Structure 1
């Protein structure tokens, strides 16, 4: 099951999107929990209203759950996946909605949580949520015996280490293998949710973000004198 998540604002806009029937043959509101309202748009409005009492600009955590094309997945499998996400992200007890969409007989789901803790009036932090979602997705493929995407089977099939002639020549001058630099940068990128966490991850590996001449940023540090391909 492919899981794609995002922290976002635009509560009512997301609610309207989830209710669209133009792109889906069937829309089912499966669950609305933790809200005063019992309808989807009302729930989204509640999240928006409570977020205004905080500094949080992205009060929603939205995840789409897409099963393999060839599989007809039971509702219980989606519920299990959502429970795994909720536990891993520390969102237990947070208000949430679950919506099922069906197109050409194939079901997929959307789960949306409020990140705002109403007692503390702070947002639940979601560090490395992209990496966590990928780990959960891989576990779901294994649990259900689904054919796993190639990128999950062997990371070498998505190898970021190919490098140019100019990079190879630079490696000869500096004695640093550009493949090692690219791998380090890619690992940091995949584990990061924003620019600040990306910069911190690079610093742990002896690399530092700096403003570049022809690109937005370059990485400088002990692994390489310069690497532009961020």
Structure 2
């Protein structure tokens, strides 16, 4: 993935923070390249200063100042490993530097940022296209193809090819044909389906999930990665996708971020030691530690004095004790009730969140309709199309004599007004979206507080060992009823 931009500050605000937040929990480590500072927070200012002094750098280095001014000095791309791989920070840093060298940007100012918010290891590289000495702009033409070739060479050097489509595309390019990455699972589901329901069922059967993204319908793969399906299907446009998905109830689709988070959480539960299990050295270290621990236990056992008949009577030997099966400890009625109440609380929170998301989506749709009517976007667009048709269908002699000049002036005025109204419409919609996100975050905080209060009440009841268990169960039930009553009262107030 590669892209260009104009603002170093905007790029760093995104890559150096969590999504839609001021925290930095997803940032694992950073590395600053070709700058006189090691601080990633100061790096964007250095890069912005270098880009702003491009003309002076060219003059000082004797380069020609001719040519168009560089409008997008920011260049960013990312490198991602397969979820099975677990490279360390040093290996990832060397790979990022090799990718910069492949692009011919190894002498440019850059910051390498590693994130850990995805199931796969990945880094983001932000580069200043302006050379810090010559002031010349780095050539990023065919950067995606260069990065694809770099990834292909990297996989071959490391002994395993994870992306077969990249190999096929490379062969097509060698033969002079056009290359395009198409997800085989999505392509097969698209080919076999006739409507949105069948498409969704085929994806579910393959481990993929159809979900509602921030702006469009998206697909979440088995690794918890969110994709735009129109970009992974050959000769399929966004309009074609919307047409086939027309039979689906979009409000019934789950939120893409929530689906991806659930998948990643499940992967973590199923593979708790993925990072260490994929590293041969760590596996060997763990095996060595187990062997040493077993040897220590054997030495301690050999050093123990032998037990006489009286001491061993009624207890048995260590072998007999280890061979006896340990019966599972039964949970008390209080613990069973506490667990049941906790499950009911989690289920209630999930249902409340789902209902709240549906209400927020309905609010956004309603707000869009009202704002379109308020700004008269449809009427203004129809008037522009009418003026355009009148100008295009005017006879040639009217155009030569200037009879269409009045229509052209009016169309330019109407177009300026339409663009202004569209900009205001988008700003209002974004304000509604921000308000909805804030409402959803407040609901999450409220649920977290309720969960903490419930857990504290359980702990207090556990500490009161002098009470009979039936009284504890009654107190627990009453506390749960009071929490549910408070929640219902808050819902009525809202």
Give TM-score, length-normalised by structure 1: 0.60
Q: Aligned partners of 1:95, 1:155: CA distance in 2, in Å?
A: 32
More helix by share: 2
Distance in 2 between residues matched to 1:45 and 1:87, nearest whole Å: 24
Q: Pick 1 or 2: higher relative contact order, CA cutoff 8 A, min separation 6.
A: 1
Q: Paired residue for 2:169?
A: 155
Deviation at 1:120, TM superposition (A): 2.3
The answer for the alignment partner of 1:61 in structure 2 is 75
Q: Which residue does the alignment assign to 1:9?
A: 6
Residues in 2 aligned to 1:129 and 1:142: alpha-carbon distance in whole angstroms: 20
Report the Cα offset of residue 105 of structure 1.
Answer: 6.1
Task: Give the Cα–Cα distance (whole angstroms) in 1 for the partners of residues 46 and 165 of structure 2.
Answer: 39
Work out whether 1:18 is the aligned partner of 2:32.
no
Find the counterpart in structure 2 of residue 166 from structure 1. Answer: none
Residues 1:81 and 2:95 are matched in the alignment? yes
Q: Is residue 25–residue 104 contact of structure 1 (8 Å, CA) maintained in 2? A: no
SS of 1:126's equivalent?
coil
Contact 1:68-1:146 at 8 Å conserved across structures: no
What is the CA–CA distance in structure 1 between the aligned matches of 2:97 and 2:88, rounded to whole Å?
15
CA separation in 2, counterparts of 1:156 and 1:117? 31
CA offset at residue 156 of structure 1? 9.7
**Equivalent position of 1:210 in the other structure:** none
What is the Cα deviation at residue 37 of structure 1?
Answer: 4.4
For the residue of structure 2 that corresponds to 1:103, the secondary structure is coil
Q: Which residue of 1 aligns with 2:48?
A: 48
Q: CA deviation at 1:126?
A: 2.2
Judge conservation of contact 2:2–2:75 (CA < 8 Å) in 1: yes
How far did 1:68 drift? 0.7
Larger radius of gyration: 2
Q: CA deviation at 1:104?
A: 5.8
Q: CA deviation at 1:12?
A: 0.5
Tell whether the 8 Å contact from 1:47 to 1:59 is kept in structure 2 after alignment: no
More strand by share: 1
Which residue number corresponds to residue 104 of structure 2? 90
Hey, what does 2:456 align to over in structure 1? none
Aligned match of 1:119: 133
TM-score norm. by structure 2 comes to 0.30
- Please say if 1:137 is aligned against 2:151: yes
Length, aligned pairs only: 163
1:107 and 2:104 aligned: no
Q: 2:78, 2:170 → 1: CA distance?
A: 26
Structure 2 counterpart of 1:207? none
Name the SS of the counterpart of 1:92 in structure 2: coil
Q: Deviations along 1:19-64, whole A, 9 cap, x unmatched?
A: 1234874313421133344432421122223222342122122121
Give yes or no for contact 1:16–1:41 (8 Å, CA) kept in 2.
no
Unaligned runs of 5+ in 1: 160-179, 191-230
Distance between the aligned counterparts of 2:154 and 2:90, measured in 1? 13
Deviations 1:52-110 (A, max 9, x none): 23421221221211111222122233223222222222222221111111126643111
Post-superposition offset of 1:129: 1.2
Q: What's the CA shift for 1:5?
A: 1.9
Deviation at 1:138, TM superposition (A): 0.7
Q: 2:113, 2:170 → 1: CA distance?
A: 35
- How large is the Cα RMSD of the aligned pairs? 3.1
Q: Hey, what's the Cα distance between the residues in 1 that align with 2:118 and 2:2?
A: 24
Structure 2 equivalent of residue 167 of structure 1: none
Asked if the contact 1:60/1:112 (under 8 Å) is kept, the reply is: yes
Secondary structure at the aligned position of 1:72 is classed as coil
Matched, 1:72 2:91: no
Rounded to whole Å, the distance in 1 between the matches of 2:105 and 2:118 is: 32
**Structure 2 gap ranges (5+):** 55-68, 182-494
Q: In 1, distance between residues paired with 2:170 and 2:35? A: 45
Q: Is the 8 A contact 2:2 2:144 kept in 1?
A: yes
SS of 1:123's equivalent?
A: coil
